[in-house]
Structure 1
Amino acid sequence: MEKDSNFILKGKAVERYFDLNDALMEFHNLFTYESKDDRTIAVLGGTLLEMVLEHILYAFFPEDDKEVGEMMQFNQPLGNFSNKIKICYCLGLIDKIIKEDLNLVRKIRNEFAHDLYASFENEKIKNWCLQLKWHKILVTPYPPAEATPKDYFQVGVNSLITHLNGCVSIARSEKRSIKNNF
């Protein structure tokens, strides 16, 4: 039986695989339900999701560290969370509901990053948390009545990370290659 070479990690993909797994372990240690610091939870959740999107793109794009790496830098086409979400969606690497939830998490993260008084109890942030959908499909459509906006956010982020981590492998199986026609 011949193995499909798209599923065998090699080169930079091996390094990225272990980097992502190390980041996921660190995230697991920091993104706890016992954490009382809303800002840490909001910023950390959004940051890790952005990082996983970057891993999806690296897995999908051709192995050209210079070109791809430059696109991911700040002030470049894929240098921010919003653009990573858009390109992953437009390339068919994530579904619409995932895109919508990622944009909500991005907005929440930005509120916490730019507003000293941000809280999961702020009306705008609370509404965004309650709009998260993916975890309702993945876990349960009826969260417990006592669930707080912060609970919605944490369960939503964890559900997105689980899903997107699988998308990295799917993107790797659809990896683009550089055309050398001439």
Structure 2
Amino acid sequence: MIHITELIQKYDDLDVFKEFDKEVANNNDRGIALICGSIIDEILKELLKDFFIESSKIDKEIFGVNQTLGTFDAKYKIAYYLGLINDIEMKNIVLLQRIRNKFAHQIFGISFENEEIKNIAFNFKIPKNGYIPPVIPFQKGQASLPKIDLNPIKKDTTPREKFIFTFKYLYMSLHTRTMIGLSNQREELKDIMTADQSIILEMDVINKALKENNECTVRIGKLKADYEEMLYRVTQILETLKNVKTENEEETESVFLDQKTEIKKALNKMDEDEKRIDQYNGYFGTILKIQQYNHAVIKNSIE
């Protein structure tokens, strides 16, 4: 459950754009690239922390230097594979990181107008109508609502502007998700499972597999009956056509022979599927009997 004070604090964080715009006005290209990279790095950390269990050790043991998620790379990759960011966001973060690294490692002669930086920035992509401006204008007493630009990257947008627009898009997307994350935080696993409970869970899985296999067998049986009916009708038609030998009937006979061949192939495939399912059922049935015996032994041994 999101506490109201936490929610208010999260909304207050939107003031970061006021400070960011000041930094943009006062910093050169290198400063902007490094600042944006650091902010996305930090918000990825917060996004992950909102998902992980609550622990006072997490900063040191997970996000510290030389720890599992101590690098920018590790943060965005694990966020993607946990389903916390989407593919477009990850690709934009990778591009932003590449530009940040260029500025961090090249001391002289680098700006957003460098060809290499321009080529990277060209690939920034904000989904159509996906950009939320930091400020939405309020028009009091107007007959119609104002229109805002939800697609700020144009053909003539400079690489520097593309970088800033993409940063703001990422910040707003991830910031929104950190608010949602407050209600999705995982709890520390405290359940202690006994041996008999483990066996019961395994038997549930086996029973589910057996049920699904039996349902497949029933579906195959119904389908086979339909195909066999079709095969019977095609065979009857072919028998009738044997007494007629005009050119047109010969062409028709060829069509029905092809149908008969395809139906037989389908029936053979169903026979193979049935045999395979029978094998699975035999395997799962044997495993289930073993697990039932194991469960009985464990139950008998519980103190």
- TM-score, normalised by the number of residues in structure 2: 0.51
* Partner SS state of residue 150, structure 1: helix
Q: Find 2:170's aligned residue among 137, 155, 160.
A: 160
CA contact (8 A) 1:126 1:149 kept: yes
Aligned mates of 1:19, 1:79 — CA distance in 2: 27
CA contact (8 A) 1:135 1:155 kept: no
Could you give the per-residue CA deviations for residues 120-141 of structure 1, whole angstroms, max 9, x where no partner exists? 1122211111111126652327
Q: Would you say 1:62 and 2:73 are equivalent positions?
A: no
Q: What is the aligned partner in structure 2 of residue 133 from structure 1?
A: 125
Match of 1:76, as an amino acid?
Q
Q: CA deviation at 1:112?
A: 0.4
Structure 2, unaligned stretches of length 5 or more? Answer: 131-149, 193-303
1:1-182 correspondence to structure 2 within 5 Å: 5=1, 7-8=2-3, 17=10, 26-30=19-23, 32=24, 34-35=25-26, 37-117=28-108, 118-134=110-126, 137-138=129-130, 139-140=150-151, 143=154, 145=156, 147-182=157-192
Count of residue pairs the alignment pairs up: 172
Match of 1:122, as an amino acid?
N
Structure-2 change in CA distance of 1:54 and 1:19 (3 Å): farther
Stretch moving more, 34-43 or 148-157: 34-43
Structure-2 change in CA distance of 1:85 and 1:116 (3 Å): same
Aligned mates of 1:45, 1:99 — CA distance in 2: 15
* Partner SS state of residue 57, structure 2: helix
Could you give the per-residue CA deviations for residues 4-63 of structure 1, whole angstroms, max 9, x where no partner exists? x2x2267xx68x849956755543431x3x346000011111111111111101111110
Aligned mates of 2:116, 2:128 — CA distance in 1: 20
Structure 1, unaligned stretches of length 5 or more? Answer: none
Identity of aligned residues (%): 33
Aligned mates of 1:47, 1:109 — CA distance in 2: 9
- TM-score, normalised by the number of residues in structure 1: 0.82
Structure-2 change in CA distance of 1:47 and 1:156 (3 Å): same
Match of 2:180, as an amino acid?
I
Aligned-residue CA RMSD in angstroms?
Answer: 2.6
* Partner SS state of residue 134, structure 1: coil
